[in-house]
Amino acid sequence: MNLPTIADYPERYQIRFCPRCAAELVVVPLFGMQRQRCPACGWIHYPLPNLAATVVIEHENGIVLVQRDIDPDRGIWHLPIGHAEYGEDPADAALREGEEETGLRLAEPRFLSYTHGPSYGDPRLFYLVLGFVARAVGGALTGSDEGRATMVVPLDQLPPLKWTSQQAAIEAYRRLRREP
């Protein structure tokens, strides 16, 4: 398995100085690979993938899609998705993002899928995206407080989704619905 080396890290992980004490980091072999370590305080740089959650919202007439209003991919229709905050359960992040983007109130999150792969914005930055299904239990599809357009599409008429994380979530959701 070819894991990224320090030179392959994304921009945000290209650091030279210790974030704790500001000493210049050194590269040392450690736990099987070259890593950056602080010679002063011992801090070791372990880059992590970004953690995001996406949600298939079951609405009475189908699945809720939202329209993306920022680049890249402005204008595409997709499932609600967003980053989990540090310490936030990804299932809670899925509900929160779904509620923020649609105006609905959601409940009963259930795990569907995960994908791990490079970001569309920066191919050196990896993302771990967890997919959930949740039920709309209140609120109203008013368009979101973030100003995004929404629509409800029957599952059998769902257009192809662009992002692999959302393709995986829908695929898992279809499997779930086929099960007794």
C-beta closer to Zn ion: residue 13 or 43? 43
Answer positive or negative: Cα dihedral of 158, 156, 167, 50: positive
Least distance from Zn ion to the Cβ atom of residue 27, Å = 14
C-beta closer to Zn ion: residue 43 or 77? 43
C-beta closer to Zn ion: residue 19 or 139? 19
Q: With contact defined as beta carbons under 8 Å apart, do 58 and 135 qualify?
A: yes
Nearest-angstrom CA–CA distance, 51 and 127: 6
Q: Give φ, ψ of 49 to 5 degrees.
A: -70, 155
41 binds Zn ion (CB under 5 A): yes
Buried b (16+ CB within 10 A) or exposed e, 9-36: bbeebeeeebeeeeeebeeeeeeeeebb
Tokens of 114: 């995960």
Cα separations (Å) of 132 from 68, 79, 110?
19, 10, 5
Alpha helices in the chain (DSSP H): 90-102, 164-178
Binding residue (CB under 5 A) for Zn ion from 20, 116, 162, 177: 20
35 binds Zn ion (CB under 5 A): no
> Given the rule CB under 5 A, which of 43-51, 58-66, 90-98, 132-140 is the region that contacts Zn ion?
43-51
C-beta closer to Zn ion: residue 38 or 134? 38
> Given the rule CB under 5 A, which of 18-26, 44-52, 107-115, 117-125 is the region that contacts Zn ion?
18-26
Binding residue (CB under 5 A) for Zn ion from 15, 28, 30, 40: 40
> Given the rule CB under 5 A, which of 37-45, 119-127, 153-161, 164-172 is the region that contacts Zn ion?
37-45
Binding residue (CB under 5 A) for Zn ion from 43, 111, 114, 126: 43
The contact set with Zn ion (CB under 5 A) reads 18, 20-21, 23, 38, 40-41, 43
